[in-house]
Structure 1
Amino acid sequence: MRARGLVAELDRLPPLGVNYEESEAPTGPDDPAWHVDVACAELGTEPPGDPVPDGIFDAACILVRDYEFSDHRLIRGVFRPADELLGRNMLLEGRFLFLRFYLGVRVTGVVEGTRDGPDGPQRVWGWTYQTLDGHLEQGKLTYEVLKDLTTGVVSFRLDAYSRRAPIENPVLRGGFRVFGRRTQLDFYRRVGRRMHDLLADHRPGDPLPHPSRLAGDVVLAPSQSRMRPWDPAALPLRHPGVHVHRRRLALRRRART
């Protein structure tokens, strides 16, 4: 059953380390060795001052905590919500055509509090993950929900730096070179749009989408990506982080005969 395979992949992550040296991280946005990205989406407006209980800021924090902002057609997250957020391991399943990429990440930072923004103090909550050994990329990504305490504007911000990890498979390496960056930027655009759409008509107390149970205490996010009985299994390729559907591979083999 494919759900068991995803849980097994998640359980492989604890002993893995971050797959790059922190000392190599970019020192600015123009570092030629890295892609450095920032994206921001306005989510709505509350009255100025502290976040409104069960309002836009609180709801956005729940969506970010649960990885509900992701577009299930590109990236799905597998994790144990009962685990402490700081230090939590997550298996991300990248999806491109018939390929599936199993990508391990770990939450290495959580931010909560007030800080100075361009227009005054901001309330902020969010978390950071870094890529683990076997990931196709190297880097760090931070998701934050911010409220400008002066204007009441609530926004969602993404900060990231990344570069391609060494990939032995030449076909995969070439495909990633052609499509990887394009897909990455598409993902950044979609998460902001999805957060905005989820909160556009939100009212205090309204139910929010939440991850579906995958197996035992493991969930699959976002909620749109719940497993179906007919979902095909995955077949490991040469790279440990890449899978391809068995059923589609079998169909292609039959087509050649």
Structure 2
Amino acid sequence: MTRAGAWVFGRLDAGRAWRDLAAAEVNYSVSEVRRPQWNIDTHRHRLPGERPGPPEPGGAWDQACRLVRDYEFSPPEIVRALYDPAAPLLGRDMLLEARWHGMHFYCGVRVTEVVDETRDNGDRVWGWAYETLEGHLERGKVTYQVIKHPGTGQVEFVADSYSQGAPSLDRVTFLGWRLFGRRTQLRFYRRCGRRLRAFTEAALRGETVPSGPPTRVGHLVSAPSDTVVSRLDTLAIHRVGPGRRAGR
């Protein structure tokens, strides 16, 4: 088993794990995506509204876009991310930390699409998508979008996704995924919507969101910014690239 695939205790060299993502490729083909083998979902969450018309400067749509851009909506008890904030959004590599009951799985994703458009129906949309890289627990794509409907002023956060567990997981990780993966995945999207709504409401009240500087690993930042690093984290089981095939 490679060093990157070994079970280890204690601290992780997160900077090295992030740098290794540069050589990784997307771990699936779009031609493979079909039901029932894949979960194909749309998760919609209503955010604070605005007056009808285009997005208001500093309004709910603007604030939500800022929070989505910086991955502040992610619930830190489920998924955290490490990335280079100076890198362009498109093409950005992110090292995700998925947390399950004392086990931390480190998986790579890459931003492969940025959405910035006004659609034929007048909806103003901004967002981005990432796809899973080799070694990820899953295979698939998630697109996060903030949408304003100008006719009503309604603003919403939409996460479109398709995914399946990586077929190359070892037996222990595969069993954990079968027991907890889908349940945790759905809880993640529910928590994302609630956090983004709460943070958007706070920003509209004039509060600073997030409230403090993010944790840094060298030049990299950890998101979301309200992530709390506990000494107990050093006792968790850490696994880098759990979906990597043997010998890679």
TM-score (norm 2): 0.87
Aligned equivalents of 1:70, 1:34: Cα separation in 2: 23
Q: Highest Rg: 1 or 2?
A: 1
Determine the structure 2 residue equivalent to 1:99.
103
One-letter amino acid matched to 1:127: W
Counterpart CA distance in 1 for 2:29 and 2:62 is 34
Aligned pair in 2 of structure 1 residues 42, 150: CA closer, same or farther (>3 Å)? same
Contact 1:220 1:226 survives alignment (8 Å):
no
**Which amino acid in 2 is paired with 1:20?**
Y
Partner Cα separation in structure 1 for residue 225 and residue 24 of structure 2: 27
Which of 220, 223, 228 lines up with 1:221 in the alignment?
A: 223
Residues 201/158 of structure 1: CA separation in 2 closer, same or farther (3 Å cut): same
Alignment of 1:25-174 (within 5 A): 25-26=33-34, 31-116=35-120, 120-174=121-175
CA pair 54-38 structure 1, distance change in 2 beyond 3 A: same
Q: Name the aligned partner's letter for residue 215 of structure 2.
A: R
Alpha-carbon deviation of 1:44?
A: 1.1
Q: CA deviation at 1:196?
A: 1.1
Q: Which residue of 2 aligns with 1:7?
A: 15
CA distance in structure 2 between the aligned counterparts of 1:90 and 1:211, rounded to whole angstroms: 19
Normalised by the length of structure 1, the TM-score is 0.84
Q: Which amino acid aligns with 2:71?
A: Y
Aligned residues: 233
SS of equivalent residue, structure 2 residue 196: helix
Relative to 1, partners in 2 of residues 1:123 and 1:182: Cα closer, same or farther, differing over 3 Å?
same
Q: Is the 8 A contact 1:211 1:222 kept in 2?
A: no
**CA offsets, 1:37-72, max 9 Å, x none?**
111111111111121111111110010000000000
Larger RCO, structure (CA 8 Å, separation 6 or more): 2
| Aligned partner letter, 2:216 | L
Shift of 1:133: 0.2
2:67 is paired with a residue whose SS is helix
Q: Determine helix, strand or coil for the equivalent of 2:134.
A: coil
**Aligned amino acid, residue 179 of structure 2:** V
| Alignment partners' CA distance in 2, 1:212 and 1:36 | 32
Amino acid at match of 1:171: V
Q: Name the counterpart of 2:192.
A: 191
Q: 1:236 to 1:200 in 2, by over 3 A?
A: closer
For residues 188-244 of structure 1, what are the alpha-carbon distances to aligned partners after superposition, in whole Å with 9 as ceiling and x for unaligned?
11101111111224327542217613122200111121435664166655x7438xx
Counting aligned pairs with the same residue, the percent is 45
- Aligned partners of 1:211 and 1:221 also within 8 Å: no
Instruction: List alignment gaps of at least 5 residues for structure 2.
Output: 1-9, 244-248
Partner of 2:204: helix, strand, or coil? coil
1:232 equivalent in structure 2: 234
